[in-house]
Amino acid sequence: MRTTVRFWRWRRNPLKRGTDRAEAWSVVALTAALVVGAPAAGAATGLGVAAAAHRPAGWHATTATLTRQAPPAPAGYSLTGSTGAVRSDVHWTTADGRVHHGLAIVRPDSPAGSRTTVWLDRGGALHDDPVDPVAVRGRAMAYGTCAATGTALLAGAGWTCTRRCLDRRRAADLDREWARVGPQWGTTARG
């Protein structure tokens, strides 16, 4: 049965027990965890994931040219919005004028002679682009959502455990009081 009096946990009452005060504070802690803690955990995790996805120092972009037509998209990548990127032979020229060859990720069916951006490290080795902004954003949102949900679930589980412990303590206190007072109820004063 619920009470209709607002903020009853905070009103002065000679019958209020220590467990009632503990329950009131646990509700405050739960509310703070849900209103402040869960969003903060989600935002911090998302920002941390986004910040961790950076290009290694010394990497730079350069333009490469496809040496032959890129293969078609692999089977299963015909869904709308999916590029099904493939690897194809490319060549590029470094600042010192040397021509290099390698395999780079390109769009399917790109014609020979088309240009694409490739990433090179300090030593001139070819690498895949370490930062895909769409993937980073999606990963940050997914991890942030998981962190916020986990924080909310953890807070809810903590509140549930606290409530159960308080209910057990109340029941034990009631049993003790009943053991003390109960025997007096069956007697009547005769005199």
Whole-number pLDDT of residue 81: 47
Per-residue pLDDT tens over the stretch 42-64: 999 999 998 888 777 788 888 99
**Rounded distance between C-alpha atoms, residue 15 and residue 188, angstroms:** 27
Mean pLDDT of the 10-32 span: 82
With bands split at pLDDT 50, 70 and 90, how would you rate the model's confidence at 79?
very low
Mean pLDDT of the 121-134 span: 80
Mean pLDDT of the 82-98 span: 81
- What's the chain's average pLDDT? 84
* Torsion on CA atoms 87, 92, 98, 103, rounded to nearest 10: 0
**Rounded distance between C-alpha atoms, residue 62 and residue 118, angstroms:** 6
76 has a pLDDT exceeding 60: yes
Give, in order, the Cα–Cα distances in Å from 66 to each of 38, 70, 128.
48, 8, 15
Give percent of the chain with pLDDT exceeding 90: 36
Any idea where the domains of the chain sit in the sequence?
A: 16-51+139-180, 60-130
The helix (H) or strand (E) run that includes residue 165 is: helix 133-185
